[in-house]
Chains A and B, each alone.
Chain A
Amino acid sequence: MDILDIGIIGASTRGRGLAEAAALAGLNVNLVELNKETLDRGIRKIGEEMDHLIEKWGLTDSEKKAAMARIKGITSLEDLEKKCQMVIVTVREDLDLNKDIFARLDAHMSPATILVTHSAILSVTEIATATQRPDKVAGITFLPPVVRVQLGEVVRGLKTSQETYETVTMFINDRLGKTAVEVAEAPGYISIRMLVNMINEAMYLVMEGIASIEDIDTSMKLGFDMKRGPFEIADKVGLDMVLVWTKYMYKEAGYRYNAPCPLLLKLVRANNLGKKTGEGFYKYDESGKIIGVGALSQMKKWSYNV
């Protein structure tokens, strides 16, 4: 089955990023968001994201126009075109909410439609139990910004069929032009599991007074040819998100992982969530450029005493 029309549920960061990438790749996108205001803002933001791509020379005006015309905003799940070959759910990482949406999609969509959860942590197998088509349920994880990151993880649930797995892989490789990797269901899959552990470890390094935020980032960047260091990545992802993931990993398989570093809790409580709030481990100017280290720099003495 070829994928030409997709539904995306949720116009938050992940949904928007995916809608943008899919529309730019020539797919027809039905973006579903219950709140009309959030939907309009979401579509406007996709346009702004494309403007950034134009500024970065990655896109032309006419390509943007064509891509935006392929995105259709919808405010009710039941108005989604039944024939969409794939629906990707990108709502909050809440199991009950996801199950409810999957049950409704199962009732509404064509029997051939593949239902996909875009989640870093929820169990595909468990979500699939809410439907009559567990063989046609799979998981996908893209890292932000979806347009730029060339990776897509395809998650197999216990009952995901080979055909469904192959179609989702084809969607990532051939339709979106990215590279798909296969993962079995496990907390954090590949990228989030590796990332969360690296970021958490980097924070403990700081807390134990072993090295500064900047020097840790510099070491990882120069030493391992990484484009960004762990703290830059954490700020970019959003510290609230990092905390959700770290907590989850700890809860699901705690005997193998460290508890979330207290520094992370502290910053999240202070609403220093990273790039999006203007301050996390680093401080940012309005264009998102790093202008210095954030509030933790004043806590050095405190941190030595842990």
Chain B
Amino acid sequence: MKILVMNCGSSSIKFQLLNMDTETLLVKGGVSKIGTRSAILDLDIPGQEKIKEVAEILDHQSSLEKVLARLMSPELGIIKEKAEIKAIGHRVVHGGESYSGSVAIDDAVVEEIKNLIDLAPLHNPHNLKGIEVCRRIFPEVLQVAVFDTAFHQTMPQASYIYPLPYVLYKRYKVRRYGFHGTSHFYVAHQCAEMMGKEYSKLRIITAHLGNGCSITAIKDGKVLDTSMGFTPLEGLVMGTRCGDIDPSIITYIISREDLSLHEANTLLNKHSGLSGISGVSNDMKDLSEAAADHPRAQLAIDIFCYRLKKYIAGYAGALGGVDALVFTGGIGENATMIREKACEGLEFMGLVIDKAKNAGSRGKAEISISDSPSKIYCIPTNEELVIARETKSILGDKK
């Protein structure tokens, strides 16, 4: 059974086509720079040379049509006809309080995702566009929305209500939502599997460290707390986002530099974080290479790890102890030095990293010493697989 997984941005689509009988990837790829004369179409078929094509592609619909035409072309022949795709799963960033799980998309769901645009103006409109395009091209096929926020809806109220006038929650739904839910969910389950223990009886901390970074405390299969909040700006230091700061700084800078709301927003979201501290790069790899010559590159790394460590320890306290800590995401999966620095000093609470294992790990691995009371893992995330599984399960229910 073939399932298509879609992730649409403002000028890009990313997709994976999976055979869900065997959970194998058939092809992944996407189109970027949509709306220009030099849009780029990428196709990556496992075991084959990557395909890249530059063409004028003006909108999301023609992007997907072009991709499908390539997949059905005689030379690739990945599918023979559209009808082979039995269901489509969409990544949708914000499900608000309406969705604590994945749903089959109908007009009412589309309307609700539209209503949530206010909460995720940068993502939901584009996710929605992907849904609309797919409904047009595949009118008969089941479409499923999988929300980044859904997993975090299991959070208790004490974790998601901000210490602001309660009426703001009532009026505008200002509360903690959390993001990267699909990724935290996936690696937490993988972790339980690797430990050979029951997922619903564990205390797990999952750190998704990529372009955006978030960390989640999971107790007995439910989210206890997560670092991203009302928007993906809160919490850890990120590539260009500041994470936690004193909110008064914002009003102070706005008045000192006469900033508009847009400028203040961009300052916090695009000019801060690793990039803002270092002045060198927003990429952890660049910073590690530059650290020897640039004191501020080193400072950025130090702040990143220090704040990460505070969250790990804080969540361990909130959980009443920790059975496992998981690193995932681009940085979490690849930056051995960051994992080591973030765990440094946490031995007292049972997290003892094995430096040699950590340095040598590739892919899914345990990186704590063998008698460490709490385990540390590095687990590559796979959000698309979760989306495909969710879609398959809803398709099964429908039948």
Cα A128 to Cα B257 in complex, Å, equals 44
With A26-B11, A148-B260 already in contact, the answer to whether A60 and B270 are too (CB < 8 A) is yes
Stretch with Cβ within 8 A of B (4 or more), from A51-59, A135-143, A196-204: A51-59
Contact A57 B266 (CB under 8 A): yes
27-86 of chain A: CB within 8 A of chain B: 28, 56-60, 70
A56 in complex: contacting residue of B240, B259, B270, CB < 8 Å: B259
Chain A nearest CB: distance from B242 CB in Å? 12
Q: Is the CB of A58 within 8 A of B266?
A: yes
Q: How far is the CA of A28 from the CA of B37 in the complex (A)?
A: 10
Q: Closest residue of chain B to A148, judged by CB?
A: B260
B277-297 interface (Cβ within 8 A of A): none
* Binary contact track B20-61/A, C-beta < 8 Å → 1, others 0: 000000000000000111000000000000000000001000
Q: Which of A57, A58, A59, A60 has the most CB of B within 10 A?
A: A57
Task: Let me know if A4 and B262 touch, CB within 8 A.
Answer: no
Residue of B nearest to A177 (CB): B262
Q: Is B112 an interface residue (CB 8 A)?
A: no
Please tell me if the beta carbons of B266 and A26 are within 8 angstroms of each other in the complex.
Answer: no
**Chain A contact residues, majority secondary structure:** loop
Closest to B33 in A: A66
Q: Interface residues of A toward B: which range?
A: 10 to 19
Are A57 and B11 in touch, CB under 8 angstroms? Answer: no
In chain B, positions 234-267 with a C-beta closer than 8 Å to chain A are 240, 257, 259-260, 262-264, 266-267
Asked whether B259 lies within 8 Å of A4 as measured between CB atoms, the reply is no
By a CB distance below 8 angstroms, the chain B residues around A57 are 257, 259, 263-264, 266-267, 270-271
User: Nearest chain-B residue to A58 (Cβ)?
Assistant: B263
Q: Closest A-chain residue to B271, C-beta based?
A: A57
Q: Are A26 and B259 in contact (CB under 8 A)?
A: no
Task: Give the CA-CA distance A148 to B264 in the complex, in Å.
Answer: 13
**What distance in Å separates the Cβ of A158 from its nearest Cβ neighbour in chain B?**
34
A1-28 interface code vs B (CB 8 A; 1 in, 0 out) = 0001000000000000000000000101
Q: Contacts A4-B58, A26-B11 known; A58 to B35 CB distance under 8 Å?
A: no
Interface residues of B (CB under 8 A from A): 11, 35-37, 58, 240, 257, 259-260, 262-264, 266-267, 270-271
Given contacts A4-B35, A57-B263, 11 further A-B contacts (CB under 8 A): A28-B36, A28-B37, A56-B257, A57-B259, A57-B264, A57-B267, A58-B262, A59-B266, A60-B270, A60-B271, A148-B260
A positions within 8 Å CB-CB of B: 4, 26, 28, 56-60, 70, 148
* Closest A-B pairs by Cβ, 9 of them: A57-B267, A58-B263, A60-B270, A57-B263, A57-B271, A56-B263, A58-B266, A57-B266, A58-B262
Can you offer 28 A-B residue contacts whose CB atoms are under 8 A? Answer: A4-B35, A4-B58, A26-B11, A26-B35, A28-B36, A28-B37, A56-B257, A56-B259, A56-B263, A57-B257, A57-B259, A57-B263, A57-B264, A57-B266, A57-B267, A57-B270, A57-B271, A58-B260, A58-B262, A58-B263, A58-B266, A59-B266, A60-B240, A60-B266, A60-B270, A60-B271, A70-B36, A148-B260
